[in-house]
Structure 1
C-alpha cells in the first residue's frame, strides 16, 4: 500500500507498504549435516548390534567351555582284564597249565585260583582252546551216569554243538569218565579219558 503526504512548499512523498520476509540462506554445510545425521544414526545402530553379538558370543563360549569341563558321566567305565599269565577270549580268562595232574587235582588247582575247569559253550570257544596243548583236562564228567556228560557247573554238555575227536566218547576199558581236549594230527576234539591220568589242564574265570 502507498500513502502520499503533500506539504505547501514541496511535495513529499512517503510510501508505506507491506514487506515480506524472505528466508535467510542456509549455511553451506547445512545440507551436509542433514545427510550426515541419518548416516550417523544408522552407524550407531550397527555398532550397537555388533557389540551385542560380541557379548552373546562370549557368553556362548563360556557356557560351552563349562559344559565340556564337566564329566560326561558320573559312572566311570571299568576296564576289565585277566590276571597275569592268563589269556583272554570273549568275556573269559583262561589259564593253561604246564604241569600234569589227575582230573580231580586239576579241578582243585582251578578252584584255588578262584576259577574252574573250563566249560566250553560253543565251537568258537573250542576253536580258541584248540592247539595250546596235545591234551588238557576240561570241566566235564559222566561219573554219575554213563553217557550223560555234565559240566562242573551242573549244566548238561550239548554234545552236538561241540566237536568230538573221531569215535569219541567211547568209554574205552570201561573207565573213561572225565573229559579232555586233544590236538593231534589225526585226533582233534573232545575226548573221554581215565580220570586218574596225569594231564595238563585249562582253568577258566570271568573277566575281572
Structure 2
C-alpha cells in the first residue's frame, strides 16, 4: 500500500496495489538457499581426497611387500658381487681369454653372463671398456648362442655399430663394449685376454 500527499492540497489520496518484485532481490535468497549445499559439498570433497591418498599409500605398501622377501628369508649376493633383478654379477679385474674367464666363473658357482634384456645390458654397461659375456658362434658361424644353449635374440639387444662382423674370420666369442662411438655387444677373437662378467641366480645361493 502506498500513500501520496501532494503539496498544497488538504486531502490525502490513498492508492492500494501490489508491490512489484524486482529480480535484483532474488540472489540474496538464492545464496541463502545454496549455503547448506556448499557446507555438505566441502566435507564430501575432503573425504574423496582422503580416500585417494589412502589408496596411493596402500598401493605403495603392496608393491614394497611384494618386492621384499619375507622375514627370515633375506637373500643377498656374495661379497664382491652386485645384484640386479634376480641375479648376482661378478665383474673381474683380471684379464683372460673367453674360456679362461668362463672357467673362473664356474669356479665361483656361476657362468659367463647371459643377457636377457636391454635393461640388463644397460646395467652391465660401463664397468669396463670390454668384458667377455656368455655368447659364442663356435658351433655354427653366424648362429649366436648363450652358454646355456639358448639362441641370442639379436634384435632385442644393442650391438656395437657394424657388429657382429667376424673380422678376419676368427671372432667367435662375444664381449660387451663401452667405448666412445663403439657401444654394445661385439664379436671378438676368443683368445684375446680381457675382463669378463659372471652371473649366478639368487635361487642358486
- Fold agreement, TM-score > 0.5: yes
Give the 3-state SS of the residue equivalent to 2:127 in structure 1.
Answer: coil
> Residue 140 of structure 2 corresponds to which residue in structure 1?
145
Distance in 2, matches of 1:127 and 1:77, equals 32
> Residue 118 of structure 2 corresponds to which residue in structure 1?
123
Shift of 1:78: 1.1
- Structural RMSD (CA): 1.0
Normalised by the length of structure 2, the TM-score is 0.64
Give the 3-state SS of the residue equivalent to 1:109 in structure 2.
Answer: helix
Shift of 1:144: 0.4
Normalised by the length of structure 1, the TM-score is 0.63
1:106 aligns with 2:93: no
Shift of 1:200: 0.1
CA deviation map 1:76-106 (0-9, x unaligned)? 6411110000000000000000000000010
Distance in 2, matches of 1:179 and 1:199, equals 11
Q: How does 1:155-170 map to 2 (within 5 A)?
A: 155-170=150-165
Task: Report how many residues are paired.
Answer: 134
1:202 aligns with 2:197: yes
Give the 3-state SS of the residue equivalent to 1:138 in structure 2.
Answer: strand
> Where does the alignment leave 5 or more consecutive residues of structure 2 unmatched?
1-69
> Residue 187 of structure 1 corresponds to which residue in structure 2?
182
Q: How does 1:1-208 map to 2 (within 5 A)?
A: 77-207=72-202, 208=205
> Where does the alignment leave 5 or more consecutive residues of structure 1 unmatched?
1-74
Higher helix share: 2
> Residue 6 of structure 1 corresponds to which residue in structure 2?
none
Distance in 1, matches of 2:155 and 2:142, equals 13
Shift of 1:123: 0.2
